[in-house]
Amino acid sequence: MWRRSGGFALLVVLWTLVLIAFIVAHLTASGRTEIRIAGNLVADAVTEAAADGAIAAAIFNQLDADSGQRWPLNGEAHELIIGNSRVKVQLEDEAGRINPSSAPSALLEALLRTTGSDPESARRLALSISQWVGSTPTAQPQNATAEYQAAGLDYGPPREPLETLDELGRVLGMTPAVLAAIRPHLTLFGPPQPNPATADPVVAAALASMPQIASAPVPPNQPQAEMLTARITATAFGQDNARVRKTAVVSIGAMLVGGYVVRAWGGNGFD
């Protein structure tokens, strides 16, 4: 009887030791995982701060009184070392993109045709965009709303400037594929007429198809005493393979308080 009780007690002790070993192993593994996650979060935060710092450095570069020291707004990559992060910074002229809130319908049509839309679809969609933002001098907003209702939509054109580029997805006739094609060439912060000197190849081709716009004289976007608007993209590479991309749109000029105004600042997917 004693031997049976002793054997049972030994079995309980052995199972208890196994359970304790399992708990210790689980806690150790969990601790390592949490330490690894915490390390990744720290690396991401440090890398993100480096990207933000690089954008700030680019802004102050554009404020340099010596225009020869300013980086050109041509998309050229400039490399900075901030802390333990390597950051690639690129500056582009925002005036080289097309602003759908103020661009003429003919220019929107040219962009749509250049990016692959057929002529009739481009014409109709460009008109719909102009009606949406209220840039077309149409006196028939009720008719435009009726077209949306006929298409089964419970809204109509607000006839106001866009708040985001995503809003274009609600325009009658717009498809995800078309929006994806034109979006890289659009801005909410540019002038009605893009600057051909700094336009990307697609915008330049759209302008070239419109001689009345392409031949019009356009002042340079970076005069010393006037305002320019730059798109600054910073891609930071940090420890533990951390990678963060930040984009800012900044207006810079002597007439602005502090010399600059941040129009937008965000991460990937930024408008």
The SS3 assignment for 149 reads helix
Count CB-CB contacts under 10 A for residue 193. Answer: 17
Q: Which of 79-88, 129-138, 145-154 has the lowest mean pLDDT?
A: 129-138
Residue 269: pLDDT band by 50, 70, 90 thresholds?
very low
Cα distances from 238 to residues 56, 83, 88, 257, in angstroms, run: 18, 9, 12, 34
Q: DSSP assignment, residue 71?
A: P
Segment 25-55, tens digit of pLDDT:
666 666 666 666 666 787 888 899 999 999 9
Of the candidates 239, 249, 210, 241, the one whose C-alpha atom is nearest the C-alpha of residue 97 is: 249
Rounded CA gap, 129 and 134, in Å?
8
pTM over 0.85: no
- Would you say residue 113 lies in a domain? yes
Residue 116, phi-psi category: left (phi > 0), alpha (psi -120 to 50), beta (remainder): left
Six-digit token string for 28: 């150790």
Report the pLDDT value the prediction gives residue 35, as an integer from 0 to 100.
61
Residue 208 domain-assigned (yes or no): no
Tell me: the pLDDT tens digits for 200-228? 999 999 999 986 654 445 444 444 447 89
Q: How many domains does the chain have?
A: 1
Question: Is residue 145 within a helix (H) or strand (E), and if so which, with residue range?
Answer: helix 141-150
Burial of 232 from C-beta contacts in 10 A (0-12 / 13-18 / 19+): buried
Asked if residue 218 is part of any domain, the answer here is no
Residues in Cβ contact with 58 at an 8 Å cutoff, skipping those fewer than 6 apart: 71, 78, 89, 91, 230, 232, 234
Q: Is residue 115 part of a domain?
A: yes
In a domain, 144, yes or no: yes
Of 169, 99, 165, nearest in space to 135 by CA: 99
Residue 34 is assigned to a structural domain of this protein: no
Which pLDDT band holds residue 95 (cuts at 50, 70, 90)?
very high
pLDDT single digits (tens) 110-135: 999 999 999 999 999 999 999 999 98
Parent domain of 119: 105-186
CATH number at residue 169: 1.10.40.60
In a domain, 201, yes or no: no
| pLDDT score at 210 | 83
- Convert the pLDDT of each residue in 151-193 to its tens digit: 899 999 999 999 999 999 999 999 999 999 999 999 999 999 9
pLDDT digits (tens, 9 = 90+) for 67-80: 899 999 999 999 99
* Residue 180 belongs to some domain of the structure: yes
In terms of C-beta distances under 8 Å and separation of at least 24 residues, what long-range contacts does 151-157 make, across chains too? 157/128, 157/131, 157/132, 157/133
pLDDT band, residue 99 (cuts 50/70/90): very high
Q: At what angle do helices 105-114 and 119-133 cross, to 10 degrees?
A: 140
How much is the pLDDT for 8?
58
Averaged pLDDT for residues 90-106: 96
State residue 221's pLDDT score: 44
The more confidently predicted of residues 41 and 84 is 84
